[in-house]
Amino acid sequence: MRELFAYVPYSVPLEKRLDVVNLALNCGFELYRERESDARFSFRLALGDARTGESGFDACGVPYVRGEIGGVLGLLRRLARRPGLLFGLMLSLALYFLLTGMVWEVRITSGSDIDEDTVLSELAEAGLYEGARLKTLDPDTLVSNFLLIDEEIAFASVHLNGTVAEVELIAKSRGEEPTPVPPPCNIVAARDAVVTDMTVFTGKQVVKPGQTVAAGDLLVSGVISDVGGTRFLPAAACVMGQVEDTLTAEVPLRTTGTYVTSTRPVSLSLTIFGHTLTFGDPSRAKCESGHRLYLWNTVRLPVYVSVGLSCETETREVTRSEEEAHRLAELELERKLDAALAGGTLLSSESVEEVSDGIYLRRMRVIYETNIAKSLAFETEEQ
């Protein structure tokens, strides 16, 4: 232990090794880390034995080479000669003990959909937030305060895992809301089509499969008249119809576009433990780039950096090739076809294209089968 606190390294000729060992036995001091290399004998003496050992070496005529003091005392002496390094070490230790005593991250887990921003603000009101001192946090008190604030939560638990506060939430189960009774309605055709199949759930069927209907024609009536009188029902049915349609996409071969020519930072926001410092003028920023800092890409730090950028733009005229216009028209037709099908089945399609007056025009004639049923409510007083 004395050697670890402070020691002095020595080196003597190898032939004087026996003299050094005998001197240590006679004077009562101990040799540490004895080594032989390059005709030299190296060893260490505790700092308290160094003066006695050197006096004995001089008396016995043993030439020696003394090194610098090592151990804890030697480290402190070397640090004292570098005040900047000593200050940095002390500052690092202070920051370590300060920051490891704070909450770096509040991590929320829940089996149901919750508004995390709302929950974080409620937890902060209860006393749990990034930057809160760990010694001042009592999980039971935090849970009690939070449950008083958020009445939608049935169960909550807080676990302090190092600098991470893990919060588990279970929301209250809500009873099934009563299904609202739909108003009386008819089923009409949403578009011109040939009816291919019908499944009526409620109401009176008016048309049959194979019949051609126009948009707005009555398919299923919600008015039922029988011996019991007249009843008004919310008609419901699935009416499949074969539809013929023409989809069009126009793409100009010449157009103007806005392009970003340069960007430069105009503001910097640094958020540490929920406190934000802003430099520059964020109002001049056109876009923002931000990221959370991590230590070794694994430990999430309570630091978020956001940079506001201003953009210089210019308007340019662009000339498209027919190949590019063709691709754009294909994408537009696919989007329109998906909207028209609405889950139906495409039966056939054929396309034509032409270029006229700087416009690339593509038409697609399609035949598809889809549900053409559309609910149309009515007022019972008018019946």
Mean pLDDT of 184-202: 93
Residue with tokens 């194979």: 210
Question: What's residue 383's pLDDT?
Answer: 41
3-state secondary structure at position 137: coil
Q: What is the percent of the chain with per-residue pLDDT over 90, rounded to a whole number?
A: 42
Exposure of 249 by Cβ count < 10 A (0-12 exposed, 13-18 middle, 19+ buried)? buried
Among 330, 342, 336, CA closest to 369? 342
C-beta separation of 79 from 86 below 8 A: yes
The token pair at 40 is 């030299």
Residue with tokens 């990221």: 291
Q: What is the mean pLDDT of the chain?
A: 87
Question: What's residue 381's pLDDT?
Answer: 61
Please, which pLDDT band fits residue 98 given cuts at 50, 70 and 90?
Answer: low
How many CB atoms neighbour CB 53 within 10 A?
23
Please, which pLDDT band fits residue 167 given cuts at 50, 70 and 90?
Answer: very high
Question: What's residue 1's pLDDT?
Answer: 63
Please, which pLDDT band fits residue 103 given cuts at 50, 70 and 90?
Answer: confident
C-alpha distances in Å from residue 10, one per residue of 1, 22, 24, 31, 292: 19, 16, 13, 10, 53
How far is it, in rounded angstroms, from Cα 169 to Cα 112? 9
Q: Tell me, what DSSP letter sits at residue 111?
A: S
Question: What's residue 30's pLDDT?
Answer: 87
Question: What's residue 90's pLDDT?
Answer: 78
Strands 359-371 and 164-171: unpaired
Residue 102 C-beta-side C-alpha neighbours within 13 Å: 16
pLDDT of 94 strictly over 90: no
How far is it, in rounded angstroms, from Cα 148 to Cα 142? 10
Q: Quick check: pTM over 0.75? A: no
How far is it, in rounded angstroms, from Cα 27 to Cα 209? 119
Question: What's residue 382's pLDDT?
Answer: 47
C-alpha distances in Å from residue 29, one per residue of 16, 41, 64, 232, 266: 17, 17, 17, 112, 69
Question: What's residue 143's pLDDT?
Answer: 92
The predicted-structure confidence for 128-164, as pLDDT tens digits, reads as follows 998 888 888 999 999 999 999 998 898 999 999 888 8
> In the beta sheet, which residues pair with residue 242?
194, 369
> In the beta sheet, which residues pair with residue 189?
373
The token pair at 337 is 């076809």
Question: What's residue 88's pLDDT?
Answer: 77
Question: What's residue 334's pLDDT?
Answer: 92
Question: What's residue 3's pLDDT?
Answer: 72
Please, which pLDDT band fits residue 59 given cuts at 50, 70 and 90?
Answer: confident
pLDDT of 237 strictly over 60: yes
Question: What's residue 39's pLDDT?
Answer: 87
3-state secondary structure at position 126: helix
pLDDT of 176 strictly over 70: no
The predicted-structure confidence for 297-339, as pLDDT tens digits, reads as follows 777 778 889 999 998 888 888 888 889 999 999 999 999 999 8
C-beta separation of 95 from 102 below 8 A: no
The token pair at 223 is 């008015």
121-125, 186-190, 311-315: which has the minimum mean pLDDT?
311-315
